[in-house]
Amino acid sequence: MAPMTTPGEEMHALVERLYPLCRSITGDGVRATLDVIGEYLPLQVHEVPTGTRVLDWTVPQEWNIRDAYVADATGRRVVDFAASSLHVLGYSVPVAATMPLSELRAHLHTLPDQPSLVPYRTSYYKPAWGFCLAQETLDALPDGDYEVRIDSTLADGHLTYAEHVVPGQVADEVIVSCHVCHPSLANDNLAGVAVATFLARELAERTLYHTYRFLFAPGTIGAITWLARNAERVEQVRHGVVLACAGDRGALTYKRSRRGDAEIDRVMRHVLTASGRPHTIREFTPYGYDERQFCSPGFDLGVGSLTRTPYAGYPEYHTSADDPSFVAPEAMEDTLAVLREAFGVLDRNRRHLNLSPYGEPQLGRRGLYGALGGRSDTQEAQMAMLWVLSLSDGGHDLLDVAERSGLPFDTVATAADALRDAGLIKA
């Protein structure tokens, strides 16, 4: 019998499958990526035409590429898009020319400080063309003429993004956003895509209070497009997490929302602290991933960002070294576990009102103490009931109770369930 795979291994297999696809902010690479995700989750795919005004932006022309290379005088491809999609400057206009190396150099991008690696570079909104290659490859090129070919198209088309919704008891939403625009970068975006996909599948098996909306969209322009198209209902988004860099071996990092004290900020801090995991909590800055769009002052949504090592914080960032071998199955599994725990807290966190607030109500005659008899944590559960009753004044939620009492959130939420069933508190 073959050994069973772990969720981390399954997520890693998804990363490996998506890795070769040439993604950008538009085009068939995005569609192919969503097709694969669609095998795991039912998706609602949206196509937004070129020229559509979205907030202060306009949906650009669609970019697609079939082949690209730089060939020497013998016809040998010294830079080859077929070997890695990173070799072409993203959104390069078509080129068919022969030119000397001295002229070609202006269109070549390298990392002199990391001479064996290929950088990731783009030119989305300014017509340009170019190739990315290792500095040591460039250093080995002799002078002479080179054939340059980029078989691409920039034409009116569409921007493509997709949503998956897991319905809950209420219309209030938790949004989970990840970007699907980076080619051949395993940790930067694909690990987050994989974790989001498997999280959505898990949530579908649970009874949920909130509705969970998963957004798979190109970075920046995709989030802006979604916000523009959902401006009238965006007030339903109560909480959110932007997910990226979810699979490296570094410790988890949570970046607060612009508000700084949104419920998701409190929940993530509590879960990470209570878990004992090494972690970092960072303050909001208006630079990073799409949390900056959701937190822009006109929307000011309670959306934070979860990564492991933050963007630009590891040497492999935006280079060819960010390949599937850089992503650890156990790290993705750990990221998934934290989100599972955090959403479990978020889904059960409520404010309550004590319906017997004058003096301590008699718990014994209501069977509340007896119902807990024999549990190893009976005393802790009883203390949780007393704390819930004490702080059920309509102004404190269960997370407040857990943090003030020092008790586990699950113990506090279970106590609240028992008190609510006994008619002593109401949400």
Compute the mean pLDDT over every residue in the chain, rounded to the nearest whole number: 95
Beta bridge partners of 304: 241
CA atoms of 26 and 64, how far apart (whole Å)? 8
> Measuring CA to CA, how many Å separate 370 from each of 43, 387, 420?
48, 18, 16
3-state secondary structure of 389: helix
pLDDT bucket at 3, cuts 50 / 70 / 90: low
Give the tokens for residue 427.
């949400």
- Read off the pLDDT of residues 269-291 as tens digits, 9 standing for 90 and up: 999 999 999 999 999 999 999 99
8 Å CB contact between 209 and 168: yes
Q: What b/e readout covers 97-127, taking b as 16+ CB neighbours within 10 angstroms?
A: eebebeebeebbbbbeebeebbbbbbebeee
CA atoms of 183 and 120, how far apart (whole Å)? 8
7-60+158-348: CATH architecture: 3-Layer(aba) Sandwich (3.40)
High-pLDDT (> 90) share of the chain, %: 94
Q: What is the CA radius of gyration of the chain?
A: 25
- The answer regarding whether domain 351-426 maps to CATH 1.10.10.10 reads yes
Q: CA angle 160-231-298, nearest 5°?
A: 115
pLDDT at 169 over 50: yes
- Read off the pLDDT of residues 14-57 as tens digits, 9 standing for 90 and up: 999 999 999 999 999 999 999 999 999 999 999 999 999 999 99
Q: What is the pLDDT of residue 377?
A: 65
CA atoms of 374 and 71, how far apart (whole Å)? 77
Q: What is the pLDDT of residue 223?
A: 98
Q: Is the pTM of this model over 0.85?
A: yes
Closest CA to 423 of 351, 372, 378, 366: 366
pLDDT at 82 over 90: yes
Q: What is the pLDDT of residue 2?
A: 55
- Read off the pLDDT of residues 363-413 as tens digits, 9 standing for 90 and up: 888 888 755 444 556 788 889 999 999 999 999 999 999 999 999 999 999
The pairing of beta strand 44-49 with beta strand 158-166: antiparallel
Q: What is the pLDDT of residue 375?
A: 52
CATH superfamily of 62-155: Domain of unknown function DUF2172 (3.50.30.90)
Q: Considering the chain, tell me which residue range(s) the CATH 3.50.30.90 domain(s) occupy.
A: 62-155
Q: Average pLDDT of 211-233?
A: 97
End-to-end CA distance of the chain: 50
Question: Among 156-160, 164-168, 248-252, 377-381, whose mean pLDDT is lowest?
Answer: 377-381
8 Å CB contact between 343 and 307: no
Q: What is the pLDDT of residue 372?
A: 47
**10 Å Cβ neighbour count for 246?**
30
3-state secondary structure of 257: coil
Q: Considering the chain, tell me which residue range(s) the CATH 3.40.630.10 domain(s) occupy.
A: 7-60+158-348
DSSP state letters, 309-371: SPTT-STTTTBTT-SGGGS-HHHHHHHHHHHHHHHHHHHH--EEEESS-SS---SGGGTTTGG
- Whose tokens are 């082949």? That residue is 67
Give the tokens for residue 301.
């949504």
Q: Considering the chain, tell me which residue range(s) the CATH 1.10.10.10 domain(s) occupy.
A: 351-426
- Whose tokens are 């989001």? That residue is 196
N residues, the chain: 427
3-state secondary structure of 220: coil
User: What dihedral angle (degrees, nearest 10) is formed by the CA atoms of 363, 368, 369, 372?
Assistant: -160
